Structure 1
């Protein structure tokens, strides 16, 4: 059954070893760097129980003769309606908390569904892995943990094999025991310090032609396990007043270097092990579901940029100028381009190997490229529309200081609709959205959060239907069928490689 926010908060008070700013954190839920996001995640849990939001956040299914309530975000997607429901639930969360949060579970749980699709490949390694995957899919639905993702290792010198340098640069198995495997290394994981579990999988290593590798391992990690150390980057919350940086103080999702110091992973939590073919397959299909929720965040980020820019244009009477309208239209085209890809990905959804319903892969991955590759340009357009006062406006304390307040009220009040306080709030919001350290961090995060740009394009290459354009061009050019056959063989060979 779905947990409450209080139950979630209690679950992360498990004595985990968390460090930030050179000090050990004694209580994660109350620490100022973590509390804003812990409170948001707790609120998401509570939204599943609140009468006004429970219908959007949950679904019911028969569980042994009685209807059980589960989170929409964790539901295996079988129909188009499932995807519309997931999209609606995510929108409700973002609208309720008043901003963008990415690593809160609905985006990362989709990676487990990719494993569900890969059972046939994993069965070639060990049939027990498929059983473990099905069990964990079921546990996520019924136990409703805060589930995150662990992708990236420190890596070290990527021109060398892992074995030719410090072996801990990539997470690896150091020994097997009757209880499970013991792993050592490190992973970067956003939100790990205040989550319950992580799907931990390999960065594709330089393992050459090796069929087996101790680095090709994937498992579910209980983030309260002995031997884990959480070394966090210092967050933006508390650096400056919430009035001046309203987003940084509420929505900064803290990233963590999770150190695995000989951590035991029980056999039942092991999802694949040693076979490089299995690891490569999983990496190639990892985002076939989770990319949807990730790109949806970019859509809502575009909404915030449009809103901030349009308010700034309207308050000063500039929205009627053609040059301003053109720039607003560019933001709108970017936003609607993302919206179109998400909508079409549902409308043209595809059956997965395990019978789930995937968003149309070519459209989804193309939408991700659009959303990420143009984000920096859209932020710059929004900066232009917001104007130079975004970067020169004094802080809230000066608006409150009796010595400076009259002057700031004079110069920041435009009319009876736009008084100084509202204008200051809008400029502070736009600054934090577009110009602050937090804004720069989010831009980099969006660029690399799922994978680097070349991998975004590689996913498009693997999912796009090349046969249609080839056949059309062949017929138009009057080419023989032989050339199309040769291209198909080459494409199949390239895909296999």
Structure 2
């Protein structure tokens, strides 16, 4: 099939899936008011793949049949191919200003990472590795949109996975695995074709029934999604310029005796293999995530500069410094994207070894804290460090800068209906104008954009999303304490002490 059009994408969503919003089953997600504009936005992204101006960046020839497929599936073998991926990831992110964290290219990269470690997934069960490759090819050649589920329910985080009632295998049959339970935060679920059950936190011995990695259609029998309240309540694009277009939805995934066919199983029942998958990924997912986050940082920096121009603060040193700092972060972010591409090349050339079955206790898969570091053991970890430490920090910095630059001026702004009221419009034009005679409606439009990014439910969710994108930043920092890099740094400091002593100090 190759790349789909927006219309073909929309048509694929009409499949009797079980999507619930506000207690109601949604019969057609493409026509539901709270989803409709998000569907249209995604359809435009699909249509861009057919645009001659973008096609050479967003697509390449499928190795299967030569038809054009998304570059987000490219398993790059050269730096030229990696550079094409970088251009594609950046362009796709820019199409939605980096504001949709779960565009289809996110999970396309995830599926590519998974296929790239087929040697590991198939180490003890050959069919699992074959399944991962076949599935990646299936998603690639049919241009499917995937959601994924990672997080176990937050029932009691002081206890183990059993207390969480997370999705797990309850029966093994000749047709596949039967699963029950729940998984959280399935972003884009109502607007996706398939749901990927991915590894996240390491599992311990005795938790084998929770070690399933698989993917199934969103409309699978027994699978239900309960969506959070939508942020899009039908406001105009003037009043909610971001909410009205980019609310990608989040959902709770409920598995009620759902059958996972064997050909959709990529790992199961093996603690060591399950814990090794994330560290073994080459890093395509991290490249996509960093590209998207960079695009969002660029957009947020631009909004800060635009607000400063609009309210006259662009000539004040204090506010120039705030935007200048963000521009410095943006330079770093753009460099990190390029560096992550090189890290993928290195990881692909030096894959993490499969477990030594004669010495399983020495495998990284049995060290849960290290297993969560992706490339942190025996490989560089720039990509995951960028996602876990750098972007949560700079996105908070960007929102704080916007809050200071806009200040109380972000709060009081009339609606589009106020401007359309002939009795009110003259007053608004007189008292709401911007710097250098900027018309009132143009000024308000800028501040509406800033407020939607910062203060509305959409913006609040967005900041929370970025902060916890790759887990709790505090726990993430603690993971680094045990890395060899700490010992290397400390050894350098100790060498200085030795030199002081040698010099009689």
Within 2, Cα distance between the matches of 1:172 and 1:242? 42
1:385 to 383, 401, 405: 405
Whether 2:393 is the aligned partner of 1:373: answer: yes
Match of 2:178?
182
Q: CA RMSD in A?
A: 2.8
The number of aligned residues is 472
Within 2, Cα distance between the matches of 1:464 and 1:79? 30
Counterparts in 2 of 1:60 and 1:203: CA distance versus 1, 3 Å: closer
Match of 1:223?
218
1:345 to 340, 346, 358: 340
More displaced 10-residue stretch of structure 1: 52-61 or 460-469? 460-469
More displaced 10-residue stretch of structure 1: 107-116 or 225-234? 107-116
Match of 1:35?
36
More displaced 10-residue stretch of structure 1: 310-319 or 129-138? 310-319
Checking the alignment, whether the CA contact within 8 Å between 2:120 and 2:277 is kept in structure 1 is no
Within 2, Cα distance between the matches of 1:137 and 1:20? 31
Structure-to-structure mapping, 1:74-85, within 5 angstroms? 74-85=73-84
Whether 2:49 is the aligned partner of 1:48: answer: yes
Cα deviation, residue 404, structure 1: 1.8
Cα deviation, residue 371, structure 1: 1.0
Within 2, Cα distance between the matches of 1:146 and 1:184? 24
Residue 310 of structure 1 aligns to a residue in which SS?
helix
Within 1, Cα distance between the matches of 2:244 and 2:484? 41
Residue 29 of structure 1 aligns to a residue in which SS?
coil
Checking the alignment, whether the CA contact within 8 Å between 1:155 and 1:170 is kept in structure 2 is no
Counterparts in 2 of 1:254 and 1:61: CA distance versus 1, 3 Å: closer
More displaced 10-residue stretch of structure 1: 170-179 or 141-150? 141-150
Match of 1:437?
457
Within 2, Cα distance between the matches of 1:267 and 1:458? 38
Counterparts in 2 of 1:294 and 1:389: CA distance versus 1, 3 Å: same
Cα deviation, residue 22, structure 1: 2.0
Cα offsets for 1:36-89 (capped at 9, x unmatched): 22212222221111222212211125546xx32111111113233333322322
Residue 293 of structure 1 aligns to a residue in which SS?
helix
Cα deviation, residue 410, structure 1: 0.3
Within 1, Cα distance between the matches of 2:416 and 2:125? 61
Match of 2:89?
90
Within 2, Cα distance between the matches of 1:61 and 1:174? 38
Match of 1:336?
331
Cα deviation, residue 252, structure 1: 0.8
Q: Larger % of strand: which?
A: 1
Checking the alignment, whether the CA contact within 8 Å between 2:223 and 2:258 is kept in structure 1 is yes
Structure-to-structure mapping, 1:226-245, within 5 angstroms? 226-238=221-233, 240-245=235-240
Within 2, Cα distance between the matches of 1:461 and 1:6? 50
Q: Which runs of 5+ in 2 are unaligned?
A: 353-373, 500-505
More displaced 10-residue stretch of structure 1: 423-432 or 312-321? 312-321
Match of 1:144?
143
Residue 33 of structure 2 aligns to a residue in which SS?
coil
Checking the alignment, whether the CA contact within 8 Å between 2:146 and 2:195 is kept in structure 1 is yes
Residue 335 of structure 1 aligns to a residue in which SS?
helix
Residue 178 of structure 2 aligns to a residue in which SS?
strand
Cα offsets for 1:298-341 (capped at 9, x unmatched): 22222222222212222343322221211121221222222222
Match of 1:195?
192
Whether 2:201 is the aligned partner of 1:204: answer: yes
Whether 2:165 is the aligned partner of 1:169: answer: yes
Structure-to-structure mapping, 1:70-469, within 5 angstroms? 70-97=69-96, 100-163=99-162, 165=163, 169-188=165-184, 189-204=186-201, 208-210=204-206, 213-238=208-233, 240-285=235-280, 288-347=283-342, 349-352=344-347, 361-368=380-387, 369-414=389-434, 418-454=438-474, 456-457=476-477, 469=489
Within 2, Cα distance between the matches of 1:35 and 1:461? 46
Cα deviation, residue 462, structure 1: 7.9
Counterparts in 2 of 1:407 and 1:346: CA distance versus 1, 3 Å: same
Structure 1 length as normaliser, TM-score?
Answer: 0.86
Residue 106 of structure 1 aligns to a residue in which SS?
helix
Q: Which runs of 5+ in 1 are unaligned?
A: 480-497
Within 1, Cα distance between the matches of 2:98 and 2:492? 45
Checking the alignment, whether the CA contact within 8 Å between 1:229 and 1:258 is kept in structure 2 is yes
Within 1, Cα distance between the matches of 2:398 and 2:187? 25
Counterparts in 2 of 1:302 and 1:436: CA distance versus 1, 3 Å: same
Checking the alignment, whether the CA contact within 8 Å between 1:110 and 1:287 is kept in structure 2 is no
Residue 231 of structure 1 aligns to a residue in which SS?
strand
Cα offsets for 1:180-203 (capped at 9, x unmatched): 011011222101111111220355
Within 2, Cα distance between the matches of 1:285 and 1:456? 18
Cα deviation, residue 130, structure 1: 1.0
Within 1, Cα distance between the matches of 2:465 and 2:482? 24
